Structure 1
Amino acid sequence: MRQGGSVQKSMFNLRRLVRLVRLSAFIGGLSISIPAMQPGSVLAQSPTLEDQDQEDRIDVQWGKAWETMIQGKGNRWNLELPTLGGKQFWTDHRWWNGYRLQYNPTLEHWRLIDPGSVRKGWGTKEAMLELLGQIQEKETQGPQDKKPQEFTEVFLLLHGLMRTSSSMKPVEEELLARLGQKERADSVAIIRFGYASTRSTIASHAQAFRELVENLPGKPRVKISGHSLGNIVTRLAIAQWTEQGDPQGILKRIDRVVMMGPPNQGSSFAKRLSYLGLFEMVTGKSGMQLGPQWDGLSSSLGIPPCPFQIIAGDLTGSTIQNPLLDGPNDAVVTVEETKLDGMTELKTYPVLHSFLMQDPKCVADAVEFLLREIPPKSNAAPGR
Structure 2
Amino acid sequence: MARTARSMHDMAEAASARGYLVVNIDYPSRERPIEELAPMAVGGALERCRRAGTRQVHFVTHSLGGILVRYYLRHYPLPVLGRVVMLSPPNGGSEAADELADWAPYRWLNGPAGQQLITGPGGVPQHLGPVDFPLGVITGNRHAFFDAWLAEMFPGPNDGKVSVERAKVAGMHDFLVLPYAHPYIMDAPEVIEQTLYFLRHGRFRRHPD
In 1, are the aligned partners of 2:136 and 2:172 still within 8 Å (CA)? yes
Looking at structure 2, the residues matched to 197 and 339 of structure 1 have their Cα atoms a distance apart, in angstroms, of 22
Aligned to 2:125: 298
Asked whether the 8 Å contact 2:88–2:139 carries over to 1, the reply is yes
Q: Is the 8 A contact 1:236 1:302 kept in 2?
A: no
Partner of 2:108 in structure 1?
A: 281
For 1:231-242, what aligned pairs fall within 5 Å after superposition?
A: 231-241=66-76
Which residue in 2 is equivalent to 1:58? none
Relative to the length of structure 1, the TM-score reads 0.48
| Per-residue CA distance 1:329-377 (angstroms, 9 max, x = gap) | 1111100000111111111111111111111111111111112267xxx
Alpha-carbon offset, residue 301 of structure 1:
2.0
What is the percentage of aligned positions where both structures have the same residue?
29
C-alpha distance in 2 between matches for 1:211 and 1:352: 29
The match for 1:323 is 152
SS at match of 2:83: strand
Residues 87, 138 of structure 2: 8 Å contact kept = yes
The equivalent residue for 1:311 is 138
Q: String of CA shifts for 1:264-308, please: whole Å, max 9, x gaps.
A: 000111110223222112211011111377624235425543321
Match of 1:256 in 2: 83
CA RMSD of aligned residues (A): 2.3
Q: 1:304 to 1:191 in 2, by over 3 A?
A: farther
Higher relative contact order (CA 8 A, sep 6+): 2
User: Structure 1 CA distance, aligned partners of 2:102 and 2:5?
Assistant: 29
- Runs of 5+ consecutive residues of structure 2 not aligned to the other structure: 204-209
Structure-2-length-normalised TM-score: 0.85
Relative distance call for 1:294 and 1:352 in structure 2 (3 A) is farther
1:163 corresponds to 2:3:
yes
**Closer/same/farther in 2, CA of residues 289 and 265 from structure 1, 3 Å limit:** same
Aligned counterpart in structure 2 of residue 267 of structure 1, from 83, 94, 97: 94
Residues 372 and 166 (structure 1), Cα distance of their counterparts in 2 relative to 1, 3 Å cut: same
